[in-house]
Structure 1
Amino acid sequence: MNKPPASNSFTGATTLREHVQEAEAKGFDHVDTWVFDLDNTLYPASSRLFDQIDAKITAYVMQRSGLDGLSARALQKYYYRRHGTTLAGMMSEDGLDPHHFLAFVHDIDHAVLAPAPDLAAAIARLPGRRFVLTNGSRRHAESVIARLGISELFEDIFDIAAASFVPKPDAAAYDAFLKLHGIEPSKAAMFEDLSKNLVVPHRLGMRTVLVTPRDGEPEGLERLTSATDAHGGPHVDHMTDDLAGFLSALALVAAD
């Protein structure tokens, strides 16, 4: 039996006025393209959706390698740290068919996500173009945004296949995305839950926002694999645990 959907709210104690002040200070008024990571960004890590994917990746590594659970888990995280994603590592070192892998690991229960009307309203108010840029598959991304009720708000989903299976944070993934859609990075903003995935966007001139869990909420498993992903840095322009509230503030600033 499916568990009831978890709350998708990012709402914290920060007021809209405070969000507006932060948005103005960071200079988002020039932005006309809004780029969002998918997992643990458009929905909170507390939904545990990505935990399902993580477990499926471990199961896949076990089946392919013949290793026990602990050894397969260690190999999985070795691939992740060395290559950026487990998929990239297995493709590079084991000749993996990426399509079979993605179909297996994204065969999960998306019903844990509930509609997010506040987030939908905030994204809808953003002026300009909106995209999803993910290391996952298009099918998975479509399932996620459909559950959240935001499918009609994005111009396109740029998935790992569109990036020729080169994952973020590799610069080639961002370059392919920007070139395909004719995006000027100096007029774009990137929202991510992994700090390392904001290094290249910041270097390209994009505004960068790190989406973090609320106090007391669990960290996403990807963030826990590296201490550098648990905090910001010089490549992070802003951090928020309230994505809907922050986006609402950006829309107000852009409308001025």
Structure 2
Amino acid sequence: MTQEIFKKKNVWLFDLDNTVYSPETKIFDQIDKRMKTFISKKLKISQESAFKIQKLYYKKYGTTLFGLMKNYNFEPNEFLEFVHNVDLDNLKKSSKLFKLIELLPGKKIIYTNGDHKYAERVLTALGIENLFDEIFDIKKSRYIPKPKIKPFREFLECKKIKTQDCVYFEDLEENLKSAYKIGITTIHIHNEKKPKIKPFIDFRFKTIINALDMINNSINN
């Protein structure tokens, strides 16, 4: 696949955490710790036991929340409110990020396992909240998380968006795999020094800025 393909694309799908912002900001690390604390308090278990449940459910179900809802009938709003109550001071506005996203032709959509309120906070902290046409969050997916793709595919069909028109930016390989299967062009935003070649990853970049720079250059040249 060559960079020429981007001239044919008009729908840009962005994961949120560790994709539109760098993992170096440690925002998701805060969320991770708050999940452990929430589980520990709710189930009255040790932090160590809570951590094991958290990671087991994440691996098995795609999100810790889905596992808690399935196995303990947790109320999702309480969980989401607690875990996303994090400090976003490490997120800084970037005029370059704003410009590069703004230049993309067509629709821009956030696709996240987080909730709408948190996504809006993050986008506002980055100064890019007005650039997106939609936020497809965990509530809109009926709490069925990535990498399961069915709810998002239904959303695209409802909006009359063709998967072959889409490009998806994401830091987690598993989520890209399911998107690739339905015909979406995939871009892996990664920190790995020597990433392995995967057939479901079309392009790789260290940062979202690098990816957007290349895409806009490809479209305009």
Q: Same fold (TM over 0.5)?
A: yes
Q: TM-score, normalised by structure 2?
A: 0.94
**Residue of structure 2 equivalent to 1:243:** 208
Residue matched to 2:65:
87
Q: Structure 2 unaligned runs (5+)?
A: none
- Deviation at 1:46? 0.3
Specify every segment of 5 or more residues in structure 1 that has no aligned partner in the other structure, as ranges: 1-20, 216-229
1:125 is displaced (CA, Å) by: 0.6
Equivalent position to 2:3, from 5, 23, 47: 23
Residue 158 of structure 1 deviates from its aligned partner by: 0.6
CA distance in 2, matches of 1:53, 1:201: 25
SS in 2 for 1:250: helix
> 1:60 offset after TM fit, Å?
0.7
CA distance in 2, matches of 1:34, 1:193: 15
Q: Deviations over 1:111-154 (max 9, x none)?
A: 22111221111111111110000000101100001011111110
Tell me the SS of whatever aligns to 1:209: strand
Shift of 1:234: 0.9
Give 1:42's aligned amino acid. Answer: V
1:37 to 2, 5, 15: 15
Root-mean-square deviation (CA, aligned residues, Å) is 1.7
Structure 2 CA distance for aligned equivalents of residues 233 and 55 of structure 1: 31
Letter in 1 for 2:61: H
How far apart, CA to CA, are the structure 1 residues paired with 2:214 and 2:136?
Answer: 26
Matches within 5 A, 1:63-212: 63-212=41-190
Query: 2:27 is matched with which residue?
Result: 49
Highest RCO, 1 vs 2 (Cα 8 Å, sep ≥ 6): 1
Q: Deviations over 1:156-198 (max 9, x none)?
A: 1110001111100012232233134321000100000000001
Query: Do the aligned residues in 2 keep the contact of 1:211 with 1:239 (CA within 8 Å)?
Result: yes
CA drift at 1:214: 7.1
Tell whether the 8 Å contact from 1:122 to 1:245 is kept in structure 2 after alignment.
no
Matched residue SS, 1:189: strand
* Identity over aligned pairs, percent: 33
Query: Retained in 2: the 8 A contact 1:132–1:157?
Result: yes
CA deviation profile, 1:32-65 (whole Å, cap 9, x unmatched): 1000000000000000000000001000110111
d(CA) in 2 for partners of 1:137, 1:183: 22
Alpha-carbon shift at residue 243 of structure 1 (Å): 1.6
Q: Secondary structure at the match of 2:99?
A: helix
TM-score (normalised: structure 1): 0.82
| Cα distance, 1:248 vs structure 2 | 2.3
**Given that residues 35 and 190 in structure 1 are in contact (C-alpha distance below 8 angstroms), is that contact kept between their aligned partners in structure 2?**
yes
C-alpha distance in structure 2 between counterparts of 1:104 and 1:232, whole Å: 37
Pick closer, same or farther for the CA change 1:37–1:206 going to 2, 3 Å. same
Q: Is the 8 A contact 2:19 2:207 kept in 1?
A: no
- Distance of 2:196 and 2:84 partners within structure 1: 27
**Which amino acid counterpart does residue 47 of structure 1 have in structure 2?**
T
Per the alignment, in what secondary structure is the counterpart of residue 51 of structure 2? helix
Answer with 48-57 or 105-114: which moved more: 105-114
Q: How many residues align?
A: 220
The letter for the 2-side match of 1:100 is: E
